Amino acid sequence: MATETPPRPARRGKDPEGRMPLREHLVELRKRVVIAGIAVLLGAVGGWFLYDPVLNYITEPIQRLQDQGQDIAINFVGVGTAFDLKIKMSVWIGVIISSPVWIYELWAFITPGLTKKEKRYALGFVAAAVPLFLAGVWLSTLFIPNVVTFFTAFTPTDGANYIAADVYLGFVMRTVLAFGAAFLLPVVLVGLNLAGLVSGKAVLKAWRWVTVVCFTFAAIATPTPDILAMFMLATPMLLLFAVAIAICMVNDKRRAKGDPQYAGLSDDEASAL
């Protein structure tokens, strides 16, 4: 007599509201991190071969000062310093090259529960994330020469300025990534809003803090006596945040029309989400 096979348990479908237990969130995070890490490593391979032209480009301010007669140079201290810095710069170049991949993975992790309509609504702004990041990277290359010129001008006329390579290249790499991240933050803000974690009104109420943070960052990133340079950096940052806040406000109104439970909530009251 044949025995009956017990029925398989029904496979749990995907929550239409995008809710996941903590375990699935951690699995999702690991998946995104692994994909982004592989992309950075592949980009670092390309960065290894791009090391020489990139190094020549970012040390051009030092070379220009040398051509002007100033006793200044990049000093590689230690036997393995050049090799160590080549590896670090290769990874740094890899982060920039692979930015389309890890920016997408960041967005996909922040907004896993969006409906198809919400994803289409945000597609235009997400597509701008990579150009914004690269624009911040490019803008940083305009300010770094001014910073180098400003600080090295304090060197006495009878003195020499031999800058440790790890100090100079570390400064350049941190500055470039900081500029790129600053231009990427508005995209993250929109993602948090679409995920229902931040409201446009709450961000709008904090516009004074946003302005202070933008100008503080610009002042630190451009430590020169030229105030115009600070405004040239702070102004696009403020404009990007203004666009992000406008998108958040529009999305809040659309969401309130589609779901009346959001319409009666104050900024400090939690929704069913």
Note the pLDDT tens digit of each residue in 67-97. 888 888 888 888 888 999 999 999 999 999 9
- Which of 12-26, 47-61, 133-147 has the highest average model confidence (pLDDT)? 47-61
More confident residue, 73 or 197: 73
Q: What are the tokens at 35?
A: 């994909």
Share of the chain above pLDDT 70, in %: 77
58: nearest Cα among 154, 156, 174:
174
**What pLDDT was estimated at residue 12?**
47
- Which of 37-41, 119-123, 214-218 has the highest average model confidence (pLDDT)? 37-41
Q: How confident is the model at residue 271 (pLDDT cuts 50, 70, 90)?
A: very low
**What pLDDT was estimated at residue 46?**
94
Instruction: For residue range 118-135, list pLDDT tens digits in order.
Output: 666 556 666 778 888 898
d(CA 128, CA 173): 23
Lowest mean pLDDT among 95-109, 115-129, 139-153, 244-258: 115-129
**What pLDDT was estimated at residue 123?**
63
**Is this model's pTM higher than 0.85 or not?**
no
Lowest mean pLDDT among 74-88, 104-118, 127-141, 179-193: 104-118
Q: How confident is the model at residue 54 (pLDDT cuts 50, 70, 90)?
A: very high
Lowest mean pLDDT among 70-74, 80-84, 167-171, 263-267: 263-267
**What pLDDT was estimated at residue 97?**
93
Region 168-186 average pLDDT: 86
**What pLDDT was estimated at residue 259?**
57
Spell out the alpha helix ranges (H) of the chain: 22-49, 51-58, 60-67, 81-97, 99-110, 116-127, 129-152, 165-194, 200-205, 207-221, 227-258, 260-263
- Residue 54 sits at φ, ψ, to 5 deg, of -70, -40
- Residue 174 sits at φ, ψ, to 5 deg, of -65, -40
Q: What SS3 class is residue 206?
A: coil
Quickly count: other Cβ atoms within 10 Å of residue 182's Cβ.
Answer: 24
Q: How confident is the model at residue 267 (pLDDT cuts 50, 70, 90)?
A: very low
**What pLDDT was estimated at residue 25?**
72
Average pLDDT, the chain: 78
Q: Is the pLDDT of residue 176 over 50?
A: yes
